[in-house]
């Protein structure tokens, strides 16, 4: 009954460092998403995937890369972290069926870039 699991939960990076955020879901969902949440701005879509091996850009993709080599995993990479990437990152997944349109969210990763 894990749902969507994000690792790590917290991370502090220095400017210029790289890191990868991992999202894993065990619900066999086809679609996966990465959002960032900033105060007063709600959630903004970074990248998303409609299936294994496919990814697409969202609203704020610059500075991020993603990969979905396996259906259950969706990785978000920061190649050279910047202070503007300090945020809370949420992964979500959803299924094809319209009855299950809503997302299932992970609990988030709080990233601070100093």
Partner 1 sequence: AQSVTQPDIHITVSEGASLELRCNYSYGATPYLFWYVQSPGQGLQLLLKYFSGDTLVQGIKGFEAEFKRSQSSFNLRKPSVHWSDAAEYFCAVGQLPSSGSARQLTFGSGTQLTVLP
> Any contact of residue 64 with partner 1 (CB under 8 A)?
no
Determine contact, residues 78/66, Cβ cutoff 8 Å. Answer: no
Q: What is the CA radius of gyration of the chain?
A: 13
* Cβ at position 83, least distance to partner 1 in Å: 22
Among 20, 27, 31, 63, binds partner 1 (CB under 8 A): 31
> Any contact of residue 49 with partner 1 (CB under 8 A)?
yes
Residues of the chain by 3-state class (helix, strand, coil), percent to 5: 5, 55, 40
Among 52, 58, 77, 86, binds partner 1 (CB under 8 A): 58
The whole-angstrom separation of Cα 68 and Cα 54 is 7
In terms of phi and psi (left: phi > 0; alpha: psi -120 to 50; beta: otherwise), the region of 63 is: left
* Cβ at position 108, least distance to partner 1 in Å: 6
The span of 19-27, 29-37, 68-76, 77-85 binding partner 1 (CB under 8 A) equals 29-37
Structure tokens at 101: 């349109």
Structure tokens at 15: 């400017």
The whole-angstrom separation of Cα 67 and Cα 56 is 10
Please give the residues from 84 up to 113 whose contact with partner 1 meets the rule CB under 8 A. 90, 92, 94, 96, 98, 101-103, 105-108
Residues of the shown chain interacting with partner 1 in the complex, contacts defined by CB under 8 A: 4, 31, 33, 35, 40-45, 48-50, 56, 58, 90, 92, 94, 96, 98, 101-103, 105-108
């Amino acid at each position: 009954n894990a749902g969507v699991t994000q690792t790590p939960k917290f991370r502090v990076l220095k400017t210029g460092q790289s890191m990868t955020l991992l999202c894993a879901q065990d619900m066999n969902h086809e679609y996966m998403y990465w959002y960032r949440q900033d105060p007063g701005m709600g959630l903004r879509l970074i990248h998303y995937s409609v299936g294994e091996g496919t990814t697409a850009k969202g609203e704020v993709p610059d500075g991020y890369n993603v990969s979905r080599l396996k259906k259950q995993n969706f990785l978000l990479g920061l190649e050279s972290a910047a202070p503007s990437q300090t945020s809370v990152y949420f992964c979500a997944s959803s299924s094809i069926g319209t009855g299950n349109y809503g997302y299932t969210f992970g609990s988030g990763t709080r990233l601070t870039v100093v």
